[in-house]
Every structure is written in structure tokens, then in C-alpha cells.
């Protein structure tokens, strides 16, 4: 299974321009941002002051003076040390609290934007996507926003500010040698961390690829649980899953060993820097150039600088990964749907619900022509059926009516309005569908029916259930309408799911109704009951029926016979039988099949 294209950190240079794309999502709380930055600066000032207070405390303890004076001054310095330490922590907590709201809102807005955009993308994207990998891309991208804000703004930035202050203070108070040791060590540490992290990127990429592949494999297999059971392929699925897990295990091991190399190199540089600083300070104390307090100050500053730097490799790697994940999220946003509303698209107004296909052509690509000069009309309040062999283009007509695709040429009109010039939202408000493959949400039976009209009352839902002949089934359930249908409706039979879909469309009551093999999962008795209900419901409504069983559409006002993407015949049931063409042959074949099945029974 091919891993998702949008879920692994790139081994290309870091794209810092992602920050400019992210900035608009952070500007909702500008005051909070500036207050958070002010707290950040205050916390760093308190942090840099701590070693000086510590120095003076130690020097006071070494003074050759009275005990009372020493203890009084020392006590004051210790209190000042405690206040500065508390201020450092409190300003940091206030900063995180203030900026937390900014980050959370940015994650919410970005997540919602991506969610809405994915629903706007065309059918081809959703047919080729991998749900597991895509969900991980969204999760990683939104989580990356949180990590990036927390560490880039409140870790890397403050650390660099503190390093600059410390180097300046060391140079001013103790000369060039101390400042150079810190500067060279920090530069060496940062250079090594970035290079080693860049080297490790391919191992992180392998882990994410393996992780995506494993997740997608598991989700794909579990979604097709029944198919796995039908073909007794549990072991086959387990072996495929274990193969992906083995790749994940190998990738994780490589990643762990490369992390060891990174951490080991960083520890060596830190140890060298601290040893050099302590050595220089000890020599100066021995020569009388520095006090014991100065020695403590140098030690405190060195530890204070390298403590946050100790996480630089991790932070840089995660920031790099976060930028890549956020970029992947913005790449999703940059994907353009093939079907878009025009700049001045009008709102579709339906009065009579007349549908016209005029010379409609459609092709997925140059080598795959689906519809060829299709022309027909559905008069207001009539029922038109479309029949034909598999692959004739029947379901494509439905997708084009819903504007999942736009015609390559030709036009589709509703009440004389070209639907390609109307908004998709207004178009789909006026069309209801009972699809052949009904997929339900993992929610209650009532909520799945209510999906047809979210503001519907309980009485409306009950009426739709009765009209769909679903009431007997609902009443037999222990929890009635509150029964959970399971993921994709797997707890219901095919016929039960189809009746839920019919009830959902009945609840919507649009002026145009589409039935795509609406009774394909029903037995003969249920089919007749549903057909009678559909006839009653569709009365005075414009209906388009895609049918395989011709017995279900003999009362249609017009029957269109599709053959290889073209309209081959059209007319009523009796007219088409008299023509003795494609429809007549299909009818005779189905009649013979039914007779054979009856004799076998």
C-alpha cells in the first residue's frame, strides 16, 4: 500500500515561508501576543539576573566583617534570589497561558479551514485518497502549529536572546576569553545539531512513511471487515499488517540509533564547554583575578545557557518536522477542486423542476470518453428511468446532475438555468438521492434519518420512517430509533440501510428526486412496498431513476436506454418493447432469468 504523499518530513531545506502563511491565523488576539512577548522578556531579565544575585551572596559570605552585617545582607540577597526565581516562573506561566489561547484558536481555525476545503475537493481526489494517511496529515499539521508556536517563539527565540546577553555580560565583566568559549561552543553546538538533524531527516521520514502505511493498512482492513471474513483472509491481512509493522520497527531502530549519535555529540560539546569555563574561572580565582562568587556566576551562566540548548537538536528536528507537516497541510489547501462555482454564480431557483441534458459530453481523460452527445429532457412532475448495461454511463449522469463533475461540453439545465452557472450549494438543496451503496454515519438510526434535514422535528422523522416502511423494523429494536447503526451502518442489513436512505430523502422532500438502484438490496415483497411508497412520494415531483431491474420502472413516463455512453433508445415501456431493440433484449433476458430462478425454487 502506497503511503500518503502528505505526511512525511521533507529532506529538502526548511521552508520558513510557511510562517507567513500561518501568520494570518495568529492575528486574532494581537493584544495577547504582545502581552505574551512582554512576559517573555521579563522572564529572561529575571533569569539573567539570578547568577549575579548568587555571586553577591557567595561573596558576602566570604567577607571579613561582623556576623550580623553578613547575615543581614545575605538574607536580603537570598530573598531577592527567591523573588527573581519566582518571577521567572510566573512570567513564563503567564506567557504560556496568554499565548495558549492564540495557539488553540489558530489550530481550530486552520483545522476547520482544511476540513471545509477537503469537502470542496472533487470526487477524483476522494476516490484516490487514503483516509488513514490523510487523517494523520491533518492531525500532524494542526499539532505542528502548537509545537512550532511553543518552541520557536518561547524556546529558540528566548534562548538566542539570553545567549547574546550572557556573552555580552561575560565580555564586559571578565574579558574576551570567557565570551569566546561560550560563543565558540554555542556556534559549534548549533552547527552540529543542525547538520546531524538534517542527516537524521531521512530516518524520521522512513518512520513516518512506515507509520502511515501501517495506519492506512489497519484502517483499510477494518473498514472492509466483512470482506475479510467472507474470504477467510484474517491470516492474510495479519501477515500484510505484520510486514508493515516490521518496516516500522526497522525504521524506528534506525531513528533511535541516529538520535543516540546526535545526543552523544551534543553532550561532548557541552562537557567540553563547561570544563573549559570552569578551568578558566578556577585559574582566575587562584590568581586573585576573580572571587569565589565570580566562579559561581560563571558556572551558573554556563549551566543556564546549555540547559535549554541541550534540547536544541530535539527542538530543531521537531520544528523542522512541524514546518514540513504544516506545509503539507497548506499543500492540501492549495489543491484546487475541478468543479468550482463561478465568480458571479447565481442561486438556483426551482419552480417546475424541469431537467434537460443538451449534447452533454464527458471524459475523465482523452482515452476514457464516458458520455457522448447525451440529450434528453425530464418534464416537470414526471418520472424518467435510465437503463443500460454496466459501464453505459448511467451513474455518471447522476454525478453530473449533482455537479460532482462538469460536462466537457454541452449543458445541463434545470428550469432553463445552466447548473454550471449556479452555486453548488443551491443546486444540491433541490435534489435528493437514494444511492445504490448507502453508507451511514456511526450514530443512531434517528440521527442518520435526520441528516436529510437537520432541523426536522421528531414527528417529521416518524412520518418519513412510516413512508419508507421502516416503522415495523424500528419498533422491533430494543432502543427503537436510538439504536446505534455502527460504523458505515454495518449493524444493519443492505435492505435496512437502503430504507434508511429512502427515509432520509423523504425527510428532505426536494423537488427533484434521484433513485440510483434504490431497491437493489430489497427482497421482492419489500421492493413492491417501497416502490408503492416511492410512487406516492414522487407524485408531482420530478424523478430520475437509475435502474437495473426493469420490472421496477415499467410505469416510468419515459425510459432512456444508454449504450456505451450514448442514448440508444427512449420511450415508454410498451413503446420500447415494440421497437425490439436493446431494451427489449434486456427485458427478455431478465424475464427468462426470473423464470429460471422460480423453477429452481
Cβ-based burial of 110 (10 A; exposed 0-12, middle 13-18, buried ≥19):
buried
Residue after which a domain boundary falls, among 317, 334, 351 = 334
The predicted pLDDT at position 519 comes to: 67
Q: What is the pLDDT of residue 4?
A: 38
The yes-or-no verdict on residue 533 having pLDDT over 70 is no
* Final residue before a domain boundary, out of 475, 509, 543: 509
If one counts every other C-beta atom within 10 angstroms of the C-beta of residue 3, the result is 22
Query: Greater confidence, 360 or 527?
Result: 360
Summarised one tens digit per residue, pLDDT across range 46-80 is: 888 888 887 777 777 766 555 555 566 678 778 88
> What mean pLDDT is reported for the chain?
82
Short-list 517, 351, 219, 521, CA closest to 228? 219
Q: Give the pLDDT of residue 469.
A: 79
In a domain, 223, yes or no: yes
Q: Do residues 163 and 272 share a domain?
A: yes
Report yes or no on 7 lying in a domain. no
Question: Can you give the length of the chain in residues?
Answer: 601
Q: What is the pLDDT confidence band of residue 255, given thresholds at 50, 70 and 90?
A: confident
Q: What's the pLDDT score for residue 465?
A: 87
The pairing of beta strand 383-388 with beta strand 542-546: parallel
Question: What is the bridge-based pairing of β-strands 512-516 and 542-546?
Answer: parallel
Q: How many domains, the chain?
A: 3
> Which pLDDT does position 9 carry in this prediction?
46
In this structure, is residue 5 part of a structural domain? Answer: no
447 with 561, same domain?
A: no
| Within-domain flag for 9 | no
With a cut of 60, say whether residue 320 has pLDDT above it: yes
We report the CATH number of the domain holding residue 65 as 1.20.1560.10
Instruction: Say if residue 257 is in the same domain as residue 187.
Output: yes
Q: Is residue 12 part of a domain?
A: no
Is residue 561 pLDDT above 90, yes or no? yes
- pLDDT one-digit tens code per residue, 7-40: 444 455 566 777 777 777 777 777 887 888 888 8
Between 27 and 383, the higher pLDDT residue: 383
Answer yes or no: do 69 and 184 share one domain: yes
Residues in Cβ contact with 480 at an 8 Å cutoff, skipping those fewer than 6 apart: 445, 474
Same domain, 328 and 393: no
**What CATH number did the domain enclosing 565 receive?**
3.40.50.300
Is residue 386 in some structural domain? yes
What's the mean pLDDT in 355-384? Answer: 89
Window from 37-41, 184-188, 427-431 with minimum mean pLDDT: 37-41
Cα–Cα distance between 187 and 193 in angstroms, integer?
A: 10
Residues 266 and 356 in one domain: no
Q: Do 76 and 152 fall into the same domain?
A: yes
Asked if residue 393 and residue 451 are part of one domain, the reply reads no
| pLDDT level of residue 386 (50, 70, 90 thresholds) | very high
Q: Which domain holds residue 456?
A: 438-509
Three-state SS at 122? coil
Which of 22-26, 446-450, 532-536 bottoms out in mean pLDDT, i.e. has the lowest? 532-536
Determine the Cα angle at 119 with ends 116 and 125, to 5°: 130
Q: What is the DSSP string of 131-152?
A: HHHHHHHHHHHHHHHHHHIIII
Note the pLDDT of residue 126: 67
Q: Indicate if the pLDDT at residue 507 is higher than 70.
A: yes
Count of C-beta atoms within a 10 Å radius of residue 83: 13
Own/partner contacts of 236-243, CB < 8 Å, gap of 24 or more, are 241/214, 241/217
pLDDT at 570: 92
Residue 533 is placed in which grid cell? 411508497
Query: 391 and 323, same structural domain?
Result: no
Closest CA to 152 of 334, 349, 14, 335: 14
Whether residue 302 has pLDDT greater than 80:
yes
Using an 8 Å Cβ cutoff, are 328 and 137 in contact? yes
Nearest residue to 198 (alpha-carbon basis) of 322, 313, 326: 313
Domain shared by 348 and 309, yes or no:
no
d(CA 382, CA 556): 8
320 is a domain residue: yes
Q: What residues pair up with 443 in beta bridges, in sequence order?
A: none
Cβ atoms of 520 and 438 within 8 Å: the answer is: no
Percent of all residues in the chain with a pLDDT value above 90, rounded to a whole number: 14
Give the DSSP letter of residue 441.
-
pLDDT(91) > 80: yes
Q: Looking at residues 270-275, what average pLDDT do you find?
A: 88
H runs (alpha helix) in 224-291: 225-230, 234-286
User: How confident is the model over 401-429, as a mean pLDDT?
Assistant: 92
Q: Are residues 31 and 146 in the same domain?
A: yes
Interacting residues of 82 by C-beta distance below 8 A, sequence separation 6+: none
Q: Answer yes or no: is 526 within a domain.
A: yes
Average pLDDT, integer, range 218-230: 86
- Residue ranges with strand state E in 292-440: 355-365, 368-378, 383-388, 409-414, 417-418, 431-434
Per residue in 102-116, pLDDT (tens digit) is 888 888 888 888 888
Largest Cα–Cα distance of the chain, in whole Å?
Answer: 125
Phi, psi values for residue 445, rounded to 5°: -60, -45
User: How many Cβ atoms sit within 10 Å of the Cβ of residue 420?
Assistant: 18
pTM (two decimals): 0.63
Q: Tell me the Cα Rg of the chain.
A: 35
- At 341, list the grid cell: 462555482
Comparing 416 with 597, which gets the higher pLDDT? Answer: 416
Question: Which uninterrupted H or E stretch holds 567?
Answer: strand 566-571
- Which of 433, 455, 375 shows the shortest CA–CA distance to 409? 375
Average the pLDDT over 171-184 and give the result: 88
**Bridge partners, residue 563, by sequence:** 566
Which of these, 438, 488, 423, 439, lies nearest to 120 by C-alpha position?
Answer: 423
Residue indicated by cell numbers 440521527: 447
- 244/70 Cα distance (integer angstroms): 69
**Percent of the chain clearing pLDDT 70 (strictly above):** 87
Examine the fold and report which residue of 307, 334, 361 is the final residue of a domain before the chain moves on: 334
Same domain, 522 and 489: no
Amino acid at each position: 500500500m502506497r503511503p500518503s504523499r502528505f505526511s512525511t518530513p521533507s529532506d529538502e531545506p526548511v521552508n520558513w515561508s510557511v510562517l507567513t502563511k500561518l501568520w494570518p491565523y495568529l492575528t486574532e488576539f494581537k493584544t495577547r501576543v504582545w502581552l505574551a512577548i512582554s512576559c517573555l522578556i521579563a522572564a529572561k531579565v529575571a533569569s539573567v539576573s539570578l547568577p549575579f544575585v548568587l555571586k553577591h551572596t557567595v561573596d558576602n559570605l566570604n567577607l571579613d566583617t561582623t556576623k550580623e552585617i553578613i547575615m543581614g545582607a545575605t538574607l536580603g540577597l537570598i530573598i531577592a534570589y527567591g523573588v527573581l526565581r519566582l518571577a521567572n516562573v510566573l512570567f513564563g506561566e503567564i506567557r504560556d497561558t496568554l499565548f495558549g489561547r492564540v495557539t488553540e484558536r489558530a489550530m481550530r481555525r486552520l483545522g476547520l479551514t482544511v476540513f471545509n476545503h477537503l469537502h470542496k475537493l472533487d470526487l477524483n481526489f476522494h476516490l484516490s485518497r487514503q483516509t488513514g494517511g490523510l487523517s494523520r496529515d491533518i492531525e500532524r499539521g494542526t499539532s505542528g502549529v502548537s509545537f512550532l508556536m511553543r518552541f520557536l517563539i518561547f524556546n529558540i527565540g528566548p534562548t538566542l536572546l539570553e545567549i547574546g546577553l550572557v556573552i555580552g555580560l561575560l565580555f564586559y565583566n571578565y574579558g574576551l576569553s570567557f565570551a569566546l568559549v561560550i560563543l565558540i561552543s554555542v556556534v559549534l553546538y548549533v552547527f552540529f545539531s543542525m547538520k546531524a538533524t538534517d542527516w537524521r531527516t531521512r530516518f524520521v521520514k522512513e518512520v513516518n512513511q512506515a507509520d502511515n502505511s501501517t495506519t492506512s493498512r489497519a484502517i483499510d482492513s477494518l473498514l472492509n471487515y466483512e470482506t475479510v471474513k467472507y474470504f477467510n483472509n484474517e491470516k492474510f491481512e495479519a501477515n500484510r499488517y505484520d510486514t508493515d509493522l516490521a518496516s516500522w520497527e526497522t525504521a524506528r531502530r534506525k531513528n533511535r540509533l541516529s538520535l543516540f549519535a546526535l545526543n552523544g555529540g551534543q553532550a561532548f560539546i557541552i562537557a567540553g564547554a563547561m570544563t573549559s569555563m570552569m578551568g578558566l574561572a578556577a585559574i582566575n580565582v587562584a590568581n586573585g583575578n576573580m572571587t569565589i562568587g565570580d566562579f559561581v556566576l560563571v558556572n551558573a551562566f554556563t549551566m543556564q545557557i546549555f540547559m535549554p540548548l541541550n534540547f536544541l537538536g530535539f527542538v530543531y528536528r521537531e520544528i523542522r518536522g512541524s514546518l514540513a507537516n504544516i506545509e503539507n497541510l497548506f499543500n492540501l489547501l492549495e489543491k484546487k477542486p475541478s468543479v468550482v462555482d463561478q465568480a458571479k454564480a447565481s442561486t438556483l431557483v426551482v419552480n417546475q423542476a424541469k431537467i434537460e441534458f443538451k449534447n452533454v459530453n464527458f471524459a475523465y481523460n482523452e482515452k476514457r470518453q464516458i458520455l457522448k452527445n447525451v440529450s434528453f429532457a425530464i418534464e416537470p412532475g414526471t418520472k424518467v428511468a435510465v437503463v443500460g448495461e454496466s459501464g453505459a454511463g448511467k451513474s455518471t449522469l447522476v454525478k453530473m446532475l449533482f455537479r460532482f463533475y462538469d460536462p466537457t461540453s454541452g449543458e445541463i439545465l434545470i428550469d432553463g438555468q445552466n447548473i454550471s452557472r449556479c452555486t453548488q450549494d443551491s443546486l444540491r438543496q433541490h435534489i435528493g438521492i437514494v444511492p445504490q451503496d448507502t453508507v451511514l454515519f456511526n450514530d443512531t438510526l434517528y440521527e442518520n434519518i435526520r441528516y436529510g434535514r437537520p432541523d426536522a422535528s421528531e414527528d417529521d422523522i416518524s412520518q418519513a420512517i412510516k413512508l419508507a416502511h421502516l416503522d415495523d423494523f424500528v419498533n422491533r429494536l430494543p432502543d427503537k430509533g436510538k439504536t446505534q447503526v455502527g460504523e458505515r451502518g454495518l449493524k444493519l442489513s443492505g435492505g435496512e440501510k437502503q430504507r434508511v436512505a429512502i427515509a432520509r430523502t423523504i425527510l428532505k422532500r426536494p423537488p427533484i428526486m434521484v433513485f440510483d438502484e434504490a431497491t437493489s438490496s430489497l427482497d421482492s415483497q419489500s421492493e413492491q412496498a417501497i416502490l408503492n411508497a416511492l410512487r406516492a412520494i414522487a407524485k408531482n415531483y420530478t424523478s430520475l431513476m437509475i435502474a437495473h431491474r426493469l420490472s421496477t420502472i415499467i410505469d416510468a413516463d419515459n425510459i432512456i436506454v444508454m449504450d456505451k455512453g450514448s442514448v440508444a433508445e427512449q420511450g415508454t415501456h410498451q413503446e420500447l418493447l415494440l421497437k425490439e431493440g436493446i431494451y427489449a433484449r434486456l427485458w427478455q433476458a431478465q424475464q427468462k432469468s426470473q423464470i429460471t430462478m422460480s423453477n429452481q425454487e
